[in-house]
Chains A and B, each alone.
Chain A
Amino acid sequence: MRRTTIVVIGLSLVLTAAVTIAAGVGPYRIPPGDVIAAIAARLAGEDGDPNIATVLFRVRLPRIAAAIAVGAALSGAGAAYQNIFRNPLVSPDILGVSAGAGFGAVIGILLGLPVVVIEALGFIGGASSVILVAAVARMLPDRGNVLVLVLAGVVVGSLASAAISFVKIIADPYEQLPMITYWLLGSLSGVRLSDVLVVGPTVVVGLVPLFLLRWRIGVLSLGDDDARALGIDVGRTRVWVIGAATLVTAAVVAISGVIGWVGLMVPHMARLVVGPRFDRLLPAAILMGAIFMVVVDTLARTLARIEIPIGILTALVGGAIFVWLLSRTRLGGWRQP
């Protein structure tokens, strides 16, 4: 069996174990036997204990599914971006998607709109800031250069951050400001089944192009000229990758709020396991991202009586792991040979 296949099977088993444990723990105590009984009853079309059913099927399992979607999306997008931008410090935020989504959501909070609309505004804000970045980069003379795109992303991202700060100043300090703060720290505490039913398929749809383009994305890390010499349409590939990565990132950020570190760090963890080849890296990064988020979100909802915003935990856990990773790898090791 190929090594990649073994890694994918192994990671899938770890993810299954993590999901099983996560489904069994939580502030509402449900003994493991009852969890299995409730799932069996649901599968058989029976009702079972209504409270347990609500906690499991309306709260806990949708939340775990959301954690998987968030981890998979951010890590997959991060891995692809690190390759096409040929930079190990790139995360899915590089083109301003998180800041743009934050701005959209914060405007929704300021106007007192319903949650679904706030989520939609988050998605629209994230997607449109990337479109804006692409438009700005196209207007510049050196538009073929990927660095121009990154710089345009920095500009649009900081514009959106400034706009968020302005909204914070004019927001109501007793009602809206705490809401904005929590949104910007990221959390899955309010995730509902309906969110997952929309975002889950969106993430799957968005990750498909990355899979289909995995060979070309791998070649792009060699540099534009070499990739062109190998017959790859660099510009078009880049557009597809950015489009797909933006779709998945904006979709998950809309329901989870801003969650840092995952998209930057998990691809490096995956590289340590499967090496830098992108066709191997992508499935490993997606699975490891899902595992990481399920574990971190389980901590977020069980460590204390009140929720710990997930952005705090990813920064703490992610930062520690990242330093450990840096101590074990040479920075040059991320490039595909």
Chain B
Amino acid sequence: MSTSTLRRSAGLFAQLATVLALAVGLAVPAAARMVVDSSGRHVEVPDAVHRVFAAGPPAAVLLYVVAPKTLVGWPRAPRADDLPFLLPGVRDQPELGRLTGRGDTINTERLMASHPDIIIDFGTLDDTYRSLADRIQAQTGIPYLLIDGRFGNTPAALRLLGDILGVSDRAETLARAAETAFAQVDQVLAKVPATERPRIYLARGIDGLETGSRGSINTEILERVGGVNVVEGVRDAGGIAKVSPEQVITWAPDTIVTIDPKLVELLRQRPEWRPVPAVAERRIFLVPQRPFGSIDYPPSVNRLIGLPILLHLLYPQRVTSDVHAEVRTFYRLFYQVDVSNDVIDDLLGAGR
């Protein structure tokens, strides 16, 4: 037997030993506890969780706000513009890809090579995602937890992840902030009569003709702040839709919201948008898109800051709080970065 073969066998033994140790470790209840995830699956989770793989961008944001240091990598690396709004050390983590069933961009071996203690996914809970979680967990032995990603569930999601990771105090602080944000929305809306509710069009895509239809996860927040999404889709559970300028003119939205600064300019310039009331009345509102969007992009905890910002934009007479202070507090609390007033002005497209 040559030295290299010997070394290889030794390596193999070491790996076997690790697998055995893992198996034993999983079998010993003292080192682990049972967690019930949002889909009702009972999952055994190690007592101390240090490394977490986020299955998709929404999960990555949830994980980043609760326990940024546990993120083993990004499903998609942040863009250069996003970096100043993320913690050093965390923002430089490698892009690993996402686990979304058929369209996976990470292979199972690479997932295991990143040695996560657990995998979390944050979003839709249907049988597809449930079975995907079961399969990956059975295949890799890594506990896989699903957390309900509905917007209204945000405080509960923060608390559940805090429990799983053993950082309940921080999660509780964030959950309270989320509850306060939702409560503020309810207080303002209680005073706004139905006739004053804005009719909103969400402009996305390269020419502003891509949007989200009523009931879609992309526009959930617009409805939450009392807006009427003018885009009626072909089915109730909406999705991303493509529309024509003629249809937008017919819907006659009085407000357009976008996270893309380029679209604000484009819609103001193009003659075919001129008949749209929102354009004529210069009610095209830019909301922050860095480091994460505040409408969707991805549909995760990042949407919370969209709530006070939209309240200020939509009901300026009814809200007395200071939007700059709210944005600054949110970025400090959730993203753990300090933003100056100039940067906030820039994020909000002030002076455009």
Binds A, one of B65-73, B237-245, B342-350: B237-245
Is B246 within 8 A of A190, CB to CB?
no
Is B240 within 8 A of A28, CB to CB?
no
B271: contacting residue among A54, A115, A172, A179, CB under 8 A: A54
In the complex, A178 Cα to B204 Cα: how many Å? 10
Residues of A180-215 contacting chain B, CB below 8 A: 182, 187, 189-190, 192
Chain A interfacial residues counted at CB < 8 A: 34
Contacts of B207 on A, CB cut-off 8 Å?
115, 190
A59: contacting residue among B204, B206, B210, B244, CB under 8 A: B244
Binds A, one of B26-34, B227-235, B305-313: B227-235
Is A309 within 8 A of B250, CB to CB?
no
**Is B272 engaged at the interface, CB distance under 8 Å to the other chain?**
yes
**Is B261 engaged at the interface, CB distance under 8 Å to the other chain?**
no
Residue of B nearest to A62 (CB): B272
Residue from A55, A173, A192, A309 whose CB has the most chain B CB atoms within 10 Å: A173
Is A174 within 8 A of B296, CB to CB?
yes
Contacts of B210 on A, CB cut-off 8 Å?
178-179, 182
**Is A225 engaged at the interface, CB distance under 8 Å to the other chain?**
no
In the complex, A178 Cα to B296 Cα: how many Å? 14
Contacts of B242 on A, CB cut-off 8 Å?
182, 187, 189, 306-307, 309
A109: contacting residue among B103, B204, B206, B247, CB under 8 A: B206
Nearest chain B CB to A102 CB, angstrom units: 15
Nearest chain B CB to A116 CB, angstrom units: 10
The proximity string for A residues 95-116 relative to B, scoring 1 for CB distances below 8 Å and 0 otherwise, is: 0000000000000010000110
Residue from B76, B240, B297 whose CB has the most chain A CB atoms within 10 Å: B240
Contacts of B209 on A, CB cut-off 8 Å?
189-190
B247: contacting residue among A118, A172, A305, CB under 8 A: A305
Is B234 within 8 A of A55, CB to CB?
no
**Is A26 engaged at the interface, CB distance under 8 Å to the other chain?**
yes
Contacts of A309 on B, CB cut-off 8 Å?
242
**Is B294 engaged at the interface, CB distance under 8 Å to the other chain?**
no
Contacts of A60 on B, CB cut-off 8 Å?
246
The proximity string for A residues 298-317 relative to B, scoring 1 for CB distances below 8 Å and 0 otherwise, is: 00010011110100000000
Is A28 within 8 A of B246, CB to CB?
yes
**Is A169 engaged at the interface, CB distance under 8 Å to the other chain?**
yes
Query: Contacts A304-B234, A306-B242 hold; do A179 and B247 have CB atoms under 8 A apart?
Result: no
Nearest chain A CB to B227 CB, angstrom units: 18
In the complex, A93 Cα to B234 Cα: how many Å? 31
Is B297 within 8 A of A306, CB to CB?
no
**Is B105 engaged at the interface, CB distance under 8 Å to the other chain?**
yes
**Is A175 engaged at the interface, CB distance under 8 Å to the other chain?**
yes
**Is A327 engaged at the interface, CB distance under 8 Å to the other chain?**
no
A174: contacting residue among B57, B103, B247, B249, CB under 8 A: B57
**Is A27 engaged at the interface, CB distance under 8 Å to the other chain?**
yes
Is A54 within 8 A of B274, CB to CB?
yes
Is B298 within 8 A of A55, CB to CB?
no
Nearest chain B CB to A161 CB, angstrom units: 17
User: What would be 22 A-B contacts, judged by CB atoms less than 8 Å apart?
Assistant: A28-B247, A28-B250, A55-B249, A55-B275, A58-B245, A59-B245, A114-B206, A169-B103, A173-B98, A174-B293, A175-B204, A178-B204, A179-B210, A182-B210, A182-B242, A187-B242, A189-B242, A192-B272, A305-B231, A305-B234, A307-B241, A309-B242
Closest A-B pairs by Cβ, 4 of them:
A306-B241, A51-B275, A189-B244, A58-B272
